Amino acid sequence: MNKHENLRAHLLATVAELKHNPDRLLIFIDNGKIRCTAATSLSFEYSFDLQIILTDFAGHPDSVILPILGWLSINQSELLENLDKVKAGIQFEAEIIDTSKVDFSLTLPLTERVIVGKDAEGNTTVKHAGEPQRVADYLDPNWVPGAQGNAGEWVVPK
């Protein structure tokens, strides 16, 4: 599985609070399943809930949500485009510690396809398939992983 590490790197690069306190970002994989149809290959799909926990978070929730939505637009776009998946939504919980800090938890239902095949010499190959790439014009490049201008962090407007 690769998506959890990819999202971790994206959040550490785009959320100011996490750049300075990376140990406050915890990521867990829950409810994991492997789906394989036993077709002509052993290709399969990981399906799991990715739980993101921010501890003692003093930033604005928007500063986390927008980079996550940008990441999802590239890495799991059906969570934003499929009405049935949108209804189930991205789940979150928050525990208010004091007036300036919160423990914040988000749960993202993710999938990751793994294509198993053979190369020209007959050796088994394993490839993690990418997602269809459709990026909305309204997204700030700083929220989208790999987009031009992704050198900065996003700051919640006052």
| 42-84 pLDDT per residue, tens | 899 999 999 999 999 998 889 999 999 999 988 998 898 888 8
Predicted TM-score of the model (pTM): 0.79
Q: Into how many domains does the chain fold?
A: 1
Q: Any idea of the CA torsion for 147, 149, 150, 154, to the nearest 10 degrees?
A: -120
Within a domain: 100: yes
Please list, residue by residue across 53-65, b when 16 or more beta carbons sit within 10 angstroms of its beta carbon and e when fewer do: bbbebebeeebbe
**Residue 84 included in any domain:** yes
Confirm whether 156 is domain-assigned: no
**Collapsed DSSP state (helix, strand, coil) of residue 143:** helix
For residue 115, pLDDT beyond 80: yes
pLDDT given at position 150? 43
Residue 7 lies in a domain: yes
Question: What is the Cα Rg of the chain in Å?
Answer: 17
Residue 103 within any structural domain of the chain: yes
Above 70 in pLDDT, residue 34?
yes
Cα 2 from chain centroid (whole Å): 10
Q: Which domain does 86 fall in, by range?
A: 3-132
How many angstroms separate the CA atoms of 47 and 33, rounded? 5
Instruction: Look at the block and give the residue holding tokens 């010499």.
Output: 121
- Is the pLDDT score of 10 beyond 90? yes
Rounded-to-integer distance, Cα 11 and Cα 30, Å: 19
- Comparing 37-41, 100-104, 152-156, the range with the smallest average pLDDT is 152-156
The pLDDT of residue 135 is 53
What pLDDT score was predicted for residue 33?
A: 97
- What is the pLDDT, as a whole number, of residue 136? 55
Q: What is the pLDDT of residue 151?
A: 45
